């Protein structure tokens, strides 16, 4: 999925964002790879520059139960936490995965490393995530939702939520029109901060 936003008024603003994910299965192994890249320039000055890459390796013990090992890295030049790295492992359960959709739920124990301009912080978290997809209206319309809820083992942070849901409409055999809603939320010290985004774009699938 890709998003391009160009504005030409009093301020010249260019923003582009690319998101992608893929999964491959062979035997009882499954590889899941997801990435995101965002750049934004306003009046020839860069105002956003970040990327995220995540890789998960699943080993199926039965047709439904599997064990996951995953790694993730986030880089954000303009954020207070300019680098985040995590390693995690835990069990997962696949309810179904067929031509009409899938539903996976995963629980993990994670080791998180946070870097900022004032220092570094390492902590443990427990996470719960799901991956849901369902084809509707024949196969032309697809509803999907993914989310990860992190529960750090420190008193200052209650939870961190990273979620998205959306619709994809099949225009051709390979082109899809996507409408996506993203919600990132964190709560700690009695306060909640949220960031919401609505994205409309064109995606490619195979």
Q: Which residue has the higher pLDDT, 140 or 163?
A: 163
Per-residue confidence (pLDDT) for residue 147, from 0 to 100: 96
Instruction: Give the tens place of pLDDT for each residue, 62-94.
Output: 999 999 999 999 998 887 778 899 999 999 999
User: What is the percent of the chain where pLDDT is above 70?
Assistant: 94
Whether 112 shows a pLDDT value over 70: the answer reads: yes
**What's the whole-number mean pLDDT along residues 164-169?**
93
Point out the least confidently predicted range of 8-17, 52-61, 139-148, 192-201. 8-17
Of 167, 174, 106, 182, the C-alpha closest to 133 is: 167
Domain ranges for the chain, please list them.
62-204
CB 55 within 8 A of CB 67: no
Measured distance CA(86)–CA(102) in Å, rounded: 26
Predicted TM-score (pTM) of the model is 0.81
Q: Which residue has the higher pLDDT, 156 or 165?
A: 165
Measured distance CA(65)–CA(76) in Å, rounded: 35
Measured distance CA(42)–CA(63) in Å, rounded: 50
Residue 158 φ/ψ region, left for φ over 0, alpha for ψ in the -120 to 50 degree band, beta for the rest = alpha
Q: Let me know how long the chain is.
A: 206
| Degrees, nearest 5: CA angle 201-202-204 | 140
Per-residue confidence (pLDDT) for residue 205, from 0 to 100: 72
């Amino acid at each position: 999925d890709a998003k391009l936003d160009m504005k030409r008024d009093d301020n010249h603003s260019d923003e582009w964002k690319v998101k992608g994910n893929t999964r491959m299965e062979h035997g009882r192994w499954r590889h899941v790879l997801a990435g995101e890249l965002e750049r934004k320039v306003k009046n020839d000055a860069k105002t956003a520059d970040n990327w995220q890459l995540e890789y998960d390796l699943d080993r199926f013990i039965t047709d439904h139960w599997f064990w996951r090992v995953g790694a993730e890295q986030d880089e954000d030049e303009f954020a207070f936490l300019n680098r985040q790295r995590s390693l995690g492992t835990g069990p997962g359960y696949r309810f179904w995965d067929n031509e009409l959709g899938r539903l996976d739920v995963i629980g993990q124990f994670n080791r998180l490393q946070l870097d900022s301009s004032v220092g570094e912080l390492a902590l443990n978290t427990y996470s719960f995530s799901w991956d849901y997809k369902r084809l509707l209206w024949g196969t032309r319309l697809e509803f999907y939702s993914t989310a990860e809820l992190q529960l750090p083992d420190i008193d200052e942070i209650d939870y961190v939520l990273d979620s998205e849901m959306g619709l994809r409409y099949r225009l051709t055999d390979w082109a899809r029109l996507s409408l996506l809603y993203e919600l990132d939320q964190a709560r700690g010290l009695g306060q909640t901060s949220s960031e919401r985004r609505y994205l409309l774009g064109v995606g490619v699938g195979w």
